Amino acid sequence: MKKSPISRRLITTVAAASVVASGLVGVAAAPGVVGTANAAECKQSSSAKKTLIVDYAFQKSVQPEVGAGNIVKYSLSVSTSGVGNPYVQQVWDYPAQALRSVKPTVKIQAFTLLGGILGGGGVIGNMLEEHVVPEANVKKDGLGWTYSHTGYAVFAGKAFTAEFSYKLPSSVKAGTELTSFGAKFRATPNPPLGTVEFPNMTACTKVRMPNAGEAILGGLDAAGLGSAEGQLSSTGSLNDLLPGIIGGVIGGGGEEDKDKDAK
């Protein structure tokens, strides 16, 4: 059932008040104090390289911290140092064990066909295309998740990036360190590329208590009022969120009406 704007505002206000009153707002942990691990042991990125005349670089990375119950995003990228541009045709992500049964959302950033062919690798601008892969095209493959394509061209200084976003299940608690497994890519030319697998290309993030913004938006997500992904301020602070929430209620919700269908 579609909720009215008034219902949305009331639930939003109650959610904000509940967070403040109940003390559910977490404070981001200082580096190195989550669990017993040292900060140096939880590395947010790792990389590898293949070389045949030019270098082909591969990297996997993740945000350093994520609030419990929120979205963790692993970015897998392919780049090159010269004119021997590869075409990336398939990418596999192998997430942490706790996320293996969670189907990710995949977002691709790569050159458009127009930019790649006519732009000469960036002569007429970045020409980057960013799109979310249809859910049906993201497939489970063994211990990981994969997406395939006819081929994305990669040019010097313009990397191909596939972002795999997983919603943290309730079983993953604050204080947990999530270390992913590796990554795999299929790309031309072959050699030196082809299907290349990097089992040690891991990325680690620390799960903390959700901050104020994450707690509110996570509650709205659970209530069916929108997704928490991509809606946080840089701080997630109540100072950022409450003026908009209160203004939407007192001011008649003009901004909410304008953006209600935005994705």
Task: Name the residue among 92, 258, 116 with its Cα closest to residue 183.
Answer: 92
* CB-count burial class (<10 Å; 0-12, 13-18, 19+) for 69: buried
Contact 94, 200 (CB under 8 A): no
Domain containing 116 equals 42-207
Contacts of 8-11 with C-beta under 8 Å, sequence gap 24+, read 8/225, 8/256, 9/248, 9/249, 9/253, 9/256, 10/249, 11/220, 11/223, 11/225
244 in the same domain as 146: no
178 in the same domain as 58: yes
Give the amino acid at 210: P
Task: Establish if 35 belongs to a structural domain.
Answer: no
Q: How far apart are CA 241 and CA 224, in angstroms?
A: 19
Q: How far apart are CA 72 and CA 153, in angstroms?
A: 27
Q: How far apart are CA 241 and CA 247, in angstroms?
A: 10
Task: Name the residue among 222, 241, 243, 224 with its Cα closest to residue 232.
Answer: 241
Lowest mean pLDDT among 39-48, 98-107, 114-123: 114-123
pLDDT at 67 over 90: yes
Q: What is the CATH number of the domain that holds 162?
A: 2.60.40.10
In the prediction, which pLDDT does 113 show? 57
237 in the same domain as 202: no
Task: Establish if 123 belongs to a structural domain.
Answer: yes
Task: Establish if 176 belongs to a structural domain.
Answer: yes
Task: Establish if 90 belongs to a structural domain.
Answer: yes
pLDDT digits 0-9 by tens, 128-157 = 678 899 999 999 999 999 999 988 888 877
Task: Establish if 142 belongs to a structural domain.
Answer: yes
137 in the same domain as 231: no
177 in the same domain as 139: yes
Structure tokens that stand for 31 in this block:
């580096």
Q: Give the total number of structural domains in the chain.
A: 2
**DSSP string computed for 69-80:** TSEEEEEEEEEE
* CB-count burial class (<10 Å; 0-12, 13-18, 19+) for 122: middle
pLDDT band at 259 (very low <50, low <70, confident <90, very high): very low
pLDDT, mean of residues 227-244: 42
pLDDT, mean of residues 168-175: 94
pLDDT, mean of residues 158-173: 94
178 in the same domain as 115: yes
Three-class SS of residue 55?
A: strand
pTM value is: 0.67
